[in-house]
């Protein structure tokens, strides 16, 4: 029987153990930094193209049309994360290839089922019912909901497979594809005079771009892997990861809604679609570039943390404490810079009518700051399988955000005031979640250390 490598290293002299440990740390840092750099380059390239084309889009479409898009994208973002009921979150932490193949098949079956339900909803629900649900602006292009739902859900699954495989170059290519295909499609459709449906359709094209690329490279080429799929294995994976659909999936819906998407729906319904359009531009120009770093860090952090949680929780803790403070410094600098220049830059770059977006940008800046700091490590509680804690926090945050907008509207306050209230609520909630993450990580590290001591 082969000896455990860790046991052999523990028998070496202390000096050699220290050198090996230092070498491992150095190699891990280089691997982490390299993977982040790959993701960063791809995301920067994609977002740069998107930002360069934004002034063209703002001259083809009005703030009200962007407001309609904001409602569609918000609904799709909120519910698209449960297209496979959160089961794709289990893919990066599934170590055995045969089990992962069964898990991938399970994700595909669930995606077909949920898309069918969305299609039935879009077909059967009336325009009046949509208005009662605060999304009456979706009535004219409800047929795009199941299409966007399926495409976005498929992309999430493929990104999870790529994350598990460490195929960060392929993920980076999809970021470029998203940044180019989405705005270009919207511009072409706008020039054809299609209007709001063209804006929405271009959004779907951009968000789902790259799905087929990842599927062909990471799934179709793994013929041996696919041959291992069995119905018994699929059922076993459904039982093994049943907490993801039962708890984690709804936590993700609440996370996306509480992360700001619900504000587009509420502001559009309680105030006007035009204001939601101003918010959408602020999010695209100011908050979206922050995803250049945070999304890159998120993919690599999730991939590494999924392995570290069972193999070396100390590495998970080290990465967490590396990412959060550095992300805060970067985000704070960018938001301060954006606020100083927005009053001059918005009317010049996007047209005179878009200068009215500046007060909404400033009101949202506090929430942009805290959400962007939290985003790279946002899967921590799920990775540690503390789904119930995540759900409780998400429910509380969402209730507070919705109450903030509704109470502000009831009190006769302006939309700007409502957004200031929700931004402050968002900041406090994010600080609470960071504290919960730190406590959970320290608990896992302490338990792992006690187990190692007991083994010796």
Judged by DSSP in three states, 225 sits in helix
Copy the structure tokens of residue 36. 């982040």
State how far the Cα of 76 lies from the Cα of 200, in Å rounded to an integer.
11
According to DSSP, residue 280 is labeled H
Residue 21 CA to residue 10 CA, distance in Å, equals 11
What's the pLDDT score for residue 249? 66
Q: C-alpha distances in angstroms, 364 versus 17, 424, 426, 432?
A: 50, 9, 10, 19
pTM of the model: 0.76
Cα(450)–Cα(233) distance, rounded to whole angstroms?
34
Q: Which two tokens stand for residue 327?
A: 């992300």
Q: What is the mean pLDDT of each run of 10 residues along the chain (456 residues)?
A: 39 43 42 61 70 86 89 86 82 76 88 93 83 75 86 86 76 77 88 85 82 76 74 85 69 76 89 92 84 71 73 82 89 93 90 91 94 88 80 89 94 95 95 93 83 70
Contact between residue 240 and residue 200 where contact means Cβ atoms under 8 Å apart = no
pLDDT given for residue 219 in this prediction:
76
Contacts 24+ apart (CB under 8 A), 25-30: 28/315
Q: From CA 186, how far away is CA 189, in angstroms rounded?
A: 5
State the pLDDT at residue 40: 62
**What is d(CA 103, CA 110) in angstroms, rounded to the nearest whole number?**
11
Element (H, E) at 246: none
CA angle, corner 169, sides to 168 and 172, nearest 5? 85
The pLDDT score that the predictor gives to residue 292 is 67
CA distance 204 to 335: 28
Structure tokens at 130: 């949509």
Tell me what pLDDT residue 9 has. Answer: 38
């Amino acid at each position: 029987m082969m000896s455990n490598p860790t046991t052999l290293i523990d028998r070496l002299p202390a000096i050699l153990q220290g050198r090996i440990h230092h070498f491992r740390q150095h190699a891990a840092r280089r691997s982490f930094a390299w993977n982040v750099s790959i993701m960063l380059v791809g995301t920067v390239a994609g977002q740069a193209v998107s930002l360069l084309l934004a002034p063209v889009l703002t001259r083809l479409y009005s703030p009200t049309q962007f407001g309609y898009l904001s409602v569609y994208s918000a609904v799709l973002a909120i519910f698209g994360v449960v297209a496979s009921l959160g089961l794709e979150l289990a893919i990066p932490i599934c170590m055995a290839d045969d089990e992962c193949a069964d898990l991938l098949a399970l994700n595909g079956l669930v995606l077909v089922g949920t898309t069918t339900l969305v299609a039935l909803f879009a077909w059967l629900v009336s325009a009046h019912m949509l208005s009662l649900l605060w999304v009456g602006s979706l009535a004219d292009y409800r047929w795009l909901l199941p299409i966007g739902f399926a495409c976005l859900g498929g992309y999430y699954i493929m990104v999870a497979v790529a994350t598990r495989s460490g195929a960060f170059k392929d993920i980076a290519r999809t970021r470029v594809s998203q940044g180019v295909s989405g705005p270009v499609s919207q511009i072409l459709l706008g020039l054809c005079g299609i209007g709001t449906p063209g804006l929405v359709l271009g959004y779907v094209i951009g968000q789902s771009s790259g799905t087929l690329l990842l599927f062909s490279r990471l799934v179709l080429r793994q013929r041996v892997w696919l041959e291992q799929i069995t119905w018994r294995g699929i059922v076993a994976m459904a039982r093994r990861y049943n907490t993801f659909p039962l708890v984690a999936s709804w936590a993700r819906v609440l996370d996306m809604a509480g992360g700001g998407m619900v504000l587009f729906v509420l502001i559009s319904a309680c105030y006007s679609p035009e204001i939601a359009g101003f918010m959408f531009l602020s999010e695209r120009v100011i908050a979206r570039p922050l995803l250049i770093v945070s999304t890159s860090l998120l993919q690599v952090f999730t991939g590494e943390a999924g392995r570290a949680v069972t193999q070396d929780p100390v590495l998970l803790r080290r990465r967490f404490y590396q990412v959060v403070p550095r992300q805060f410094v970067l985000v704070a600098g960018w938001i301060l810079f954006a606020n100083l220049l927005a009053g001059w830059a918005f009317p010049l770059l996007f047209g005179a009518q878009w200068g009215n977006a500046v007060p909404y940008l400033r009101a949202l800046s506090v929430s942009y700051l805290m959400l962007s700091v939290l985003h790279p490590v946002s899967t921590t509680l799920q990775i540690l399988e503390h789904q119930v804690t995540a759900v409780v926090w998400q429910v509380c945050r969402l209730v507070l955000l919705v109450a903030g907008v509704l109470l502000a509207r009831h009190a006769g306050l302006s939309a700007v005031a409502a957004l200031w209230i929700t931004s402050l609520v968002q900041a406090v909630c994010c600080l609470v979640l960071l504290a919960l993450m730190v406590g959970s990580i320290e608990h896992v590290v302490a338990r792992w250390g006690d187990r190692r001591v007991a083994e010796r």
